[in-house]
Amino acid sequence: MSYSSVFKNNLFEGQNVLVTGGGSGIGRCIAHELSALGASIIITGRSQDKLDQVVAEITEDGGSVISIAFDIRDEDAVKSAIAKVVDTCGPINHLVNNAGGQFPARLEDISLKGWEAVVKNNLTGGFLVSREVMRQSMRNSGGNIVNIVADFWNSMPNMGHSGAARAGMVSFTQTAAIEWAHHGIRVNAVAPGLIASSGLDTYSDERKKVISTRSKKMPTKRLGTESEISAAVVFLLCPASSFLTGETLRVDGGVPNTNINYDIPDHKKLPAFEGFHRAEYSDFVKSLKE
């Protein structure tokens, strides 16, 4: 089996794509699809074991991939890692800032350490990687950057630290798109809603109940898939989006448009797209996709 992408074969042939947080979840899926479309992939993350597993998968599927482990929150580590990638692989044609993370908590219960950790994960790290890729590669050769953010549009209760950081990343995306345009760099973002991925399994049983209830209130009556996020990323990296920069593409099942005055009838008329041949879901996550 191979990745069933809706995009044409060899779309990214001869191009290098760096995907942060490529060892699991959405990042893993994005790396697989871009590899299937001919790109040479560089995946990063903090866990070398996870990266090794994805490298083995992509290699087995016939793709070209290497990995490098580092912490995107560490400025010196980012500088060194990007220098190594450019020295080893040549120019970085595309960057997907996917790495991030958060934990559920009310604002009054978040410590300064917890707040700063989430902001560094979801905002500072993406800035540092983008800046170094621009300085060390794209300033000379141009390229595309896609930042993964989140559905924070109508507030983000129990995830206020993440919402603040993601909003900052959207603003960063808009500003970078202007300041770096003359270098031939486009900068856009994808804002996923609730996505059926391995990350949901890390939540408590109480939080899982909330997620399950929420999925029934969505216009789609289901969660999104990793493949649906990956497809949006591929579109923003490919020539078809050449006149798009500074934009954030919402891939959220229409949740921000819901209204307390209207109950959406139950249905199964908006089926999921699943192109990822190696997608792995727990029983809990499978139940949310249906």
Q: List the chain domain ranges.
A: 16-289
- pTM score, whole prediction: 0.96
pLDDT at position 290? 60
pLDDT at position 201? 72
- Alpha carbon 128 to its chain centroid, in Å, reads 16
Cα distances from 251 to residues 68, 139, 148, 217, 235, in angstroms, run 29, 29, 11, 16, 12
Assign domain 16-289 to a CATH class.
alpha beta
Please identify which residue in the block is written with the tokens 């890692």: 81
SS3 38: coil
Report residue 244 as tokens.
Answer: 């798009």
SS3 214: helix
SS3 110: coil
pLDDT at position 97? 98
pLDDT at position 216? 86
Task: Give the C-alpha separation, 267 to 278, whole Å.
Answer: 28
State which residues of the chain have pLDDT below 70.
288-290
Among positive and negative, which fits the CA dihedral 151, 152, 156, 161?
positive
pLDDT at position 286? 75
pLDDT at position 27? 97
pLDDT at position 137? 98
Counts of helices then strands in the chain (DSSP H, E): 10, 9
Per-position b or e across 88-102, b if 16+ CB within 10 A of its CB: ebebbbbbbbbbbeb
pLDDT at position 289? 61
Strands laid side by side in the 143-148 sheet: 64-69, 40-45, 16-20, 94-97, 143-148, 185-192, 248-251
pLDDT at position 87? 98
- Segments in 63-204 forming alpha helices (H): 75-89, 112-119, 125-133, 139-141, 160-179
